[in-house]
Structures are given as C-alpha cells and as structure tokens.
Amino acid sequence: MLLSDSDAPRVAQALVALGAVRIAAHQPFIYTSGWASPVYVDAQLLMSDVVLRNEIMDMAARRVQPLVAARGINAIVGTESSGIAFAAWLAERLDLPMLYLRKRPVGWDITAQLEGRLPADAKVLLVDDVTTDGRSKAGTVAALRRAGPLVEDVLVLLDYALYAQQASTLANHGLALHALATWRHLHEALLASGTLSAAQQATLADFSASPVAWSIRNGGTGA
C-alpha cells in the first residue's frame, strides 16, 4: 500500500536527483530474488544528502504515524544493512525504540539475530529500503518473529509493485506492505528528468509492461 499518493512523486524525484537509479548499459541487473531487471536503485545514497534525507524521513514519519498509532506499534526494526539507517532516523522521529535484525544469528538464544532490546509486548514495524516481490521481506519477518515480537507491517522506501505474486506472498505471511513510492513513480520521474536516451526509454517501457517476460528473456527467474 502506498502511504501517500501526493508524496510519492517527490520521493521518486529525490532518488532520481541523487543519481540513485542506475540503468543497465549492457548486462541486466540480477536481484537477490533472481529477477533480471534493467534498473537498480541504490537508495543508500540518500544517507549522504542531508537535505533530501531529512525531507524524505520527515515525510515518512508524518505518513507512518497514523499506522503506528492504529496498530499499537512500539518499536522499529531495521534490516541489516539496508534498513538500519532508515529505521534509526524513523525511530528518532517517532520517539520509539530501534533495533536491527542481522542477516545471520550471532549467538545461540532466540534473540541471537536481533540487536537491541524489545519492549514488553513488542509489536514492531520492519523497515527496509526496497522490495521487489516480497519474498525476502517474508523471510526476514519469519526470522524476526522467532525472536518474539508481533510483526504485521513492513515499510520500504520503494516497492516495485510489478510482480503479481507479491500480494499472495505477503498475505500468506500475514503482512501488510507500506511504501513511500513505487516503480511507476520512479519511471515517471526518470522520464520527466529528460536524461534518458530513446533506447533507455524503450527498455524501461518494455520492462514496465511485462517485468516477468523481461526477466526471462534476460537470464533471470520467471517465478
């Protein structure tokens, strides 16, 4: 679910202005999920631009506050390493405890993968930068739940919102996904920037129309 239709174009414009969107010149990008794509978004660049970072995180905090109140969320958890900074900035603005989830456990008890201390009756919001089809987020939440907290919501800066199986994946794991922007907004911002060649425009249009077929044709997964 998009947190705000009115804010999403600005988030996309900020990512484009940062140079965070890379378009493949020859070889496609292969995501960890296995999808082949002509585009890669390095949202971590937002960390280094104080003005844009503050603007986007202020926006995120403002838009997610009603969700936090409605759900009774009492802690923010970032994923290692892509979600840690964004989780910290969001937790600061919301005046909530912040933790992060390691990719692999370090230790032996049920909290060996989780750094920080959960509050009593923990209900957390998981924060990351980007999601494609939701599978990695479902896996992350499964690991987080083993540490004890209730997790029903995930927040990302960018949701590609292109892959049909995402909805069922999230539903099967009892998750609601919330995003500041989607690929549609990013694509529109790229077109408006006037920086794309005709060939790049054609490639992105082809990808947007059928990302699964594009992935298969370019050596990625199809499911």
103 is in an annotated binding site: yes
Tens digits of residue pLDDT in 91-105: 999 999 999 999 887
58 marked among binding-site residues? no
pLDDT given for residue 76 in this prediction: 99
Residues of the chain with pLDDT below 70 are 108, 110-111
In a domain, 2, yes or no: no
Residue 187 resides in a domain: yes
Q: Residue 219 falls within a domain, yes or no? A: no
Q: Are 28 and 219 in contact (CB under 8 A)?
A: yes
Tens of pLDDT along 131-152?
Answer: 999 999 999 999 999 999 999 9
Q: d(Cα 215, Cα 38) in Å, to the nearest integer? A: 9
Strand 21-23 and strand 39-41: the pairing is antiparallel
Annotated ligand binding at 133? The verdict is yes
Q: Do the annotations mark residue 136 as ligand-binding? A: yes
Which residue in 51, 181, 203, 70 sits closest to 125, CA to CA? 70
Distance (Å, whole) CA 74 – CA 98: 9
In a domain, 223, yes or no: no
Q: Is residue 167 part of a domain?
A: yes
pTM (2 d.p.): 0.95
Pair 207, 28: CB distance under 8 Å: no
The annotation status of 134 as a binding-site residue, yes or no, is yes
Beta carbons of 122 and 74 less than 8 angstroms apart: yes
Query: Can you give the pLDDT at residue 180?
Result: 98
The answer to whether the annotation marks 123 as part of a ligand binding site is no
Q: Which residues contact 108 (CB under 8 A, 6 or more apart)?
A: none
Is 193 annotated to bind ligand?
no
Q: Is residue 3 part of a domain?
A: no
Q: How many domains does the chain have?
A: 1
- Say if residue 102 carries a ligand binding annotation: yes
Task: Tell me if 130 is assigned to a ligand binding site.
Answer: yes
Domain of 54, CATH number, reads 3.40.50.2020
> Cα(128)–Cα(83) distance, rounded to whole angstroms?
4
Q: Is 22 annotated as a binding residue?
A: no
Q: Cα angle vertex 163, ends 100, 6, to 5°?
A: 70
In a domain, 194, yes or no: yes
Q: What's residue 110's pLDDT?
A: 66
Q: Which residue segment(s) compose the domain that 174 sits in? A: 8-200
pLDDT digits (tens, 9 = 90+) for 189-207: 999 999 999 999 999 999 9
Q: State yes or no: 129 annotated in a binding site.
A: yes
Residue 175 counted as domain residue: yes
DSSP letter for each residue of 22-66? EE-SSSPEE-TTS-EESEEE-GGGGGG-HHHHHHHHHHHHHHHHH
